[in-house]
Chains A and B, each alone.
Chain A
């Protein structure tokens, strides 16, 4: 009975739950789902991590390739994040070229990486104008259940922290390169941005860390990215308007959550190394 009511009148079903300050999955309105991080899940990648936020699961693999820097930024390497939402992760995605949602997620991720300056691209350059590292960060969603960005950022940052790049000897005169696979070094990650997702239900109730069902019923979803004690992005792409006090309340909560998740990534990296 309850299940058919949920399918036929989803909004009414949610309204009844939210009126008593609880969500259908048993969480309170202001509760986040548990987060899980696993480092080094893919052996063939130069760095990899798996992140789970509730039932949302993403895996990130980083492949490093040698390339020539762009003429306009001759002293910089590349970090190219790409989010894939294959049909296996949710019935709402179809096979074929990347959906709009996947493209928007990739762009948002690239913006966050750029804004938070978590990695200095100049350190990826081996010789100006000649040789640089290009890091392809492929993020594949295995199970989609809302708050995609949270999981993507955690997986990307954990994977970047686990990257081991071989030392390259480059001779500019002879244009010869010698890759020393024996000797490897990690990347210098300056800071770890952490994203938190929120949804606005019925234009007034803010739900933290929404599931896929909640996201589709809510009139607006927004992300807050925190780097240390600073903000590196407050991204609200339209949807229902939000009052200032609720917005700043969410910013405060994201800051608290960011420090816990940073610690989680640190612990995962530490345990992987020992």
Chain B
């Protein structure tokens, strides 16, 4: 009862790692996921309600956080809760020769920086920006553009999957 909000729905996010109990790093991801879903779901339509989203990591082959965000979006769409917009996450890697890749590079030592962006489906504005490593503003700008282009495919995929049946 303590979690009841009188003006909107309470959104509870549970992120579970592959094994063991959630650690501080998982709480950090959980906060990002929770904030994203709170913006995207039309929570003010359901006062005094609660939405529980549980994410379980199955296998991590790089880009885990993007994958978790996209899974959360698809699950929200599938549940039929009203949403203000869809969201899609993209990860971009900056390698030490200055190139940007959307695929996880094979050699970890080559990675200079990692960028994770989440875009909304209406205006394609940035909802989440999470970065690892040090980089120049120009690289950030290029990575943002590349991820925005890439997010189109994710939105297309989501639309296709959700209208299939």
Residues of A within 8 A of B (CB): 100, 103-104, 106-108, 111, 115-117, 219-220, 222, 227, 229-244, 247-248, 251
Complex formed: what's the CA distance from A241 to B30 in Å?
A: 19
A220, A236, A251 pick with most chain B CB within 10 angstroms? A236
Cβ distance B56 to chain A, nearest Cβ, rounded Å: 19
Chain B residues lying within 8 Å of A220, measured Cβ to Cβ, are: 35, 39
The 8 Å CB contact of B134, one of A116, A219, A238, A241, is A116
Complex formed: what's the CA distance from A239 to B33 in Å?
A: 10
Q: Does B9 contact A (CB under 8 A)?
A: no
Chain A residues lying within 8 Å of B129, measured Cβ to Cβ, are: 222, 234-236, 247
Q: Does B59 contact A (CB under 8 A)?
A: no
Q: B131 and A234: CB pair below 8 A?
A: yes
Q: A243 and B125: CB pair below 8 A?
A: yes
Chain B residues lying within 8 Å of A230, measured Cβ to Cβ, are: 134-136
Cβ-closest chain A residue relative to B118:
A238
Q: A111 and B132: CB pair below 8 A?
A: yes
Q: A106 and B134: CB pair below 8 A?
A: no
Chain A residues lying within 8 Å of B119, measured Cβ to Cβ, are: 241
Q: B24 and A106: CB pair below 8 A?
A: yes
* Given A111-B132, A230-B136, A251-B137, A237-B31 contact (CB < 8 Å): yes
Complex formed: what's the CA distance from A248 to B139 in Å?
A: 12
Q: Does B128 contact A (CB under 8 A)?
A: yes
Q: Does B86 contact A (CB under 8 A)?
A: no
Q: A241 and B36: CB pair below 8 A?
A: no
Q: Could you write out 8 A-B pairs with CB less than 8 Å apart?
A: A106-B24, A235-B129, A236-B130, A239-B39, A242-B125, A243-B125, A244-B144, A248-B141
The 8 Å CB contact of B27, one of A107, A116, A231, is A107
Q: A241 and B123: CB pair below 8 A?
A: yes
Q: B126 and A238: CB pair below 8 A?
A: no
Complex formed: what's the CA distance from A229 to B135 in Å?
A: 9
Q: B123 and A231: CB pair below 8 A?
A: no
Interface residues of B in 107-137 (CB under 8 A from A): 118-120, 123, 125-137
Chain B residues lying within 8 Å of A244, measured Cβ to Cβ, are: 125-126, 144
Chain A residues lying within 8 Å of B131, measured Cβ to Cβ, are: 115, 231-235
A104, A107, A238, A247 pick with most chain B CB within 10 angstroms? A238
Cβ distance B125 to chain A, nearest Cβ, rounded Å: 3
Q: B135 and A219: CB pair below 8 A?
A: no
Q: Which 4 A-B pairs have the closest CB atoms?
A: A238-B35, A241-B125, A238-B36, A107-B28
Q: A238 and B28: CB pair below 8 A?
A: no
The 8 Å CB contact of B24, one of A107, A227, A239, A251, is A107
